[in-house]
Structure 1
Amino acid sequence: MAKHRMHKRGAALFGALALGAIMPAPAQAQTRDLNVKLDCGAKGDGAADDTNKIQDCINRSAASGQAVYLPTGAYRITDQLRVANHNTTIYGNSSATTTIVQANGTAHIFHVSNDGNPIDKIQFRNLELVYSTPNPSGFGILCNNCWRTYFQQLNIGRAATNAFMGTGIWVTGGNQVFLQDSVISQTTQQGAYFANVGDVFLSDVEVNQPDASGTSVGVVFDTGVGGIYATNVNVTGGHTGFLFQNTQKKVPPNFGFFTNCLADTLNGVGWNFQAAQSMRLTNSWSATAAVYGIQVKDADGLSITDSRIYNNGADGIFVEPGARNLTIKDSTITGNSRGAPRRHFGINIAAGVSDFQIMNNMIGQADGFANSQAYGIYIAPGVTDNYMILGNEYRRNLAGGLENGATGANKVVANNL
């Protein structure tokens, strides 16, 4: 019996040791985030100047590694807040309850920069950023040479006010920049601007521009932006929805994928491809622009697939000399030439544009829009060559389906209705 009792005690001890070996150690207490009210003396009452208090918390976080938390409140500032260190997180309670109000119209709200050197792993989330003076020249967030940077659940500007933001977010240099689940409103210059940035990710973003603006642009992709991944991005109001350009005359924006993206109710152009390479629009939309739904100028390798080009004032899609390797397929192009019926076209191809495909589209009266386009497809007289027009339904246009002035020999025009 003694031996038996010893065996049971030994087994129990062994089991306890084994259980202890496989069970996780107790979690270590996490360092509490810096609270701008409790730790740095900010008021958040909309009246006191909280600039230095918030900046003190940001500076302290650089040494401690803590995030900076702004609880519910309105934080009035009179100068830019500078972020100059890696691994900085600044967040509020929510974008509906934590507001930073910039009283200085010439100052940015946040300026992220490490004196031109890369700055890594910066995050802003759950904040509202506004100006208290109209027509400011400062930016909501200016980010210089930013790597692995996240803008999440932000309200920048206010739709219920007039011109409370010049530029929402401006990013130059860096890589892997994410703008997610955010709203940018009433920007008089541009909602978001990107240049020389690799891998830009946009998802669930709303840009609401001033209705009467003749200059504002929703999202700008400029020189050196490569690897654009955009899903559920909606631009309304202002002059231009999406602008692709190459102001530095180096590498144009390249390799972009746009899915479920929308440009609507613009005073100019929905999508403006002034300079771009290898762009793909899928299940996207351009509607009710005063001029063109989509303007294609210096673009190589643009594909428009399963999209809707509706109710624009002039041409649905206008293709200028310099465009090449263009594909338009499986899309509906209707109700364009809205401002002057029978004057403009569903698709307008300028003289000399070659290397394009227009296939399997519905071009003409459809989806409840009026029969207002002159021709479904118009190709201006000239040396246009190397193209295919196949399988399109373009009967319901005021002047006809296709007016083809091209003199090139390498073409296929077949099976259209």
Structure 2
Amino acid sequence: MTKIVQAGLGSLLGALLVVGMAPAMAQAQTRDLNVKVDCGAKGDGAADDTDKIQACINRAAGSGQAVYLPTGAYRITGQLRIANNNTTLYGTSSATTTIVQTNGSAHILHISNDGNPIDKIQIRDMEMIYSTPNPTGFGILCDNCWRTYFQQLNIGRAATDAFMSTGIWVNDGNQVFVQDSVITYASKQSLYFTEVGDVFLSDVEINQYDDSTSSAGAVFDTGVGGIYAINVNVTGGHTGFLFQNTQKKVPPNFGFFTNCLADTLNGVGWNFQSAQSMRLTNSWSATAAVYGIQVKDADGLSITDSRIYNNGADGILVEKGAKNLTIKDSTITGNSRGAPRRYYGVNVAAGVSDFQIMGNMIGQADGFGNHQAYGIHIAPGATDNYMIVGNEMRRNLAGGLENGATGVNKVVANNL
């Protein structure tokens, strides 16, 4: 009898526990906001959807829901604004959901909390374009953004001359990701970062105007630290990758670039105006009108297993102010294309010290013409603390190595 009562009490307790848990278990997940269904947007390319999309974004700020733009063309006449943490704005795909900015003086999307940090923003799966040129407009302007993701976006379109100034501009913040995206025909720069810690770029295609004499693909400015880039390709325009310190504070530092390409440019492929501790691995600079890689005020640049091909002037120009430079296991060929025998594979200015050039193929190779004067040229002057070892430099028009350095602490050996 006692066992029966105990069993009955146990069953009753179990039932009560199940009943008590049922409401929590049965609670449905809050669905995303649909800008057409929930906020009245048309997405037909004709109606002005600015206020409708903004209403959904504002509503999501209180509900915690994501905002979904289904397939369609969403015409806007003003800037869209995200001002709250934990906001997601997404479309069906970058091929089927398009935001069209018709205001030639407005940005498309501004992410900002009035100077305060804004955290956990995700923008993905859509296209953003202008219907008319905007020489000052940004596709996305992000102020003080933390843990922010831009994924599977098309910003700009090749089939139109309705250009914008900048694809994505990020000022201040940390942990910004740009992934699986294409940025086309930005007139000034496609990507711009300043005062941002930890920038992650992966599988990004940047297409610039072929005849542009001023545009840059990716710009890393003052205070950017921790750059992790893989499979980033810049074609056309003036400069592929630009490192600078316009605020004269902390230069861009600690960057790792793998499988990154600067191709078909009118100026310089990689321009290190100011940088610290940058690593290029299995990367490329080709067909620039001037230098493949220009190294000015850079401390700790490493170029390894890379290709510097067919540039108009020097393959790599190292100017006074550079130090702790390594060029290793790379192929440097076909440079001085614009004026054969005038420029070099690697050109080191007088007074540059603390560098290594080792194990490179510098001269005619890989089907490119024999245009370089010398494989390596070191200008006359007080250059010291360097190693030039194990380079193959036989196939250059004037010779392998022209060394005018007067320094004594050096190793020059085993070069062909």
Same fold (TM over 0.5): yes
Cα deviation for residue 300 of structure 1 reads: 0.2
Q: Where does 1:166-185 land on structure 2 (aligned, <5 Å)?
A: 166-185=165-184
CA distance in 1, matches of 2:150, 2:64: 19
Cα deviation for residue 389 of structure 1 reads: 0.1
Cα deviation for residue 161 of structure 1 reads: 2.1
Match of 1:274 in 2: 273
CA distance in 2, matches of 1:317, 1:173: 32
The 8 Å contact of residues 163 and 187 in structure 1, kept in 2 or not, is answered as no
SS in 2 for 1:52: helix
The 8 Å contact of residues 312 and 338 in structure 2, kept in 1 or not, is answered as yes
Amino acid at match of 1:299: A
Residue 106 (1) aligns with residue 105 (2)? yes
Residue 296 (1) aligns with residue 295 (2)? yes
CA distance in 2, matches of 1:393, 1:136: 47
Match of 2:89 in 1: 90
CA distance in 2, matches of 1:70, 1:283: 39
Aligned-CA RMSD value? 2.3
CA distance in 2, matches of 1:253, 1:169: 18
Match of 1:79 in 2: 78
Amino acid at match of 2:197: G
Q: Where does 1:17-166 land on structure 2 (aligned, <5 Å)?
A: 26=25, 28-166=27-165
Deviations along 1:110-139, whole A, 9 cap, x unmatched?
011111010000110001000000243210
Amino acid at match of 1:220: V
Cα deviation for residue 297 of structure 1 reads: 0.2
Match of 1:308 in 2: 307
The 8 Å contact of residues 263 and 287 in structure 2, kept in 1 or not, is answered as yes
Match of 1:346 in 2: 345
Q: Where does 1:397-416 land on structure 2 (aligned, <5 Å)?
A: 397-416=396-415
The 8 Å contact of residues 205 and 234 in structure 1, kept in 2 or not, is answered as yes
The 8 Å contact of residues 165 and 185 in structure 1, kept in 2 or not, is answered as no
SS in 2 for 1:251: coil
The 8 Å contact of residues 91 and 97 in structure 2, kept in 1 or not, is answered as yes
Identity %: 83
CA distance in 1, matches of 2:277, 2:376: 23
TM-score where L is the length of structure 2:
0.95
Match of 1:322 in 2: 321
TM-score where L is the length of structure 1:
0.95
Deviations along 1:203-243, whole A, 9 cap, x unmatched?
00000001110010000000000000000000000000000
Where do 4+ consecutive residues of structure 1 move more than 4 Å? 23-27
Deviates more, 1:162-171 or 1:59-68: 162-171
The 8 Å contact of residues 105 and 134 in structure 2, kept in 1 or not, is answered as no
How many residues end up aligned between the 2 structures? 413
Match of 2:222 in 1: 223
Q: Return closer, same or farther for 1:30/1:244 CA change in 2, 3 Å cut-off.
A: same
Deviations along 1:9-43, whole A, 9 cap, x unmatched?
99xx79x99xx8xx998463110111111111111
The 8 Å contact of residues 162 and 210 in structure 1, kept in 2 or not, is answered as no
CA distance in 2, matches of 1:115, 1:165: 24
SS in 2 for 1:325: strand
Match of 2:260 in 1: 261
Cα deviation for residue 105 of structure 1 reads: 1.5
Amino acid at match of 2:303: I
SS in 2 for 1:257: strand
The 8 Å contact of residues 275 and 298 in structure 1, kept in 2 or not, is answered as yes
Cα deviation for residue 106 of structure 1 reads: 1.2
Q: Which runs of 5+ in 2 are unaligned?
A: none
Match of 2:359 in 1: 360
CA distance in 1, matches of 2:105, 2:356: 48
Cα deviation for residue 162 of structure 1 reads: 2.3
CA distance in 2, matches of 1:227, 1:134: 34
Q: Which runs of 5+ in 1 are unaligned?
A: none
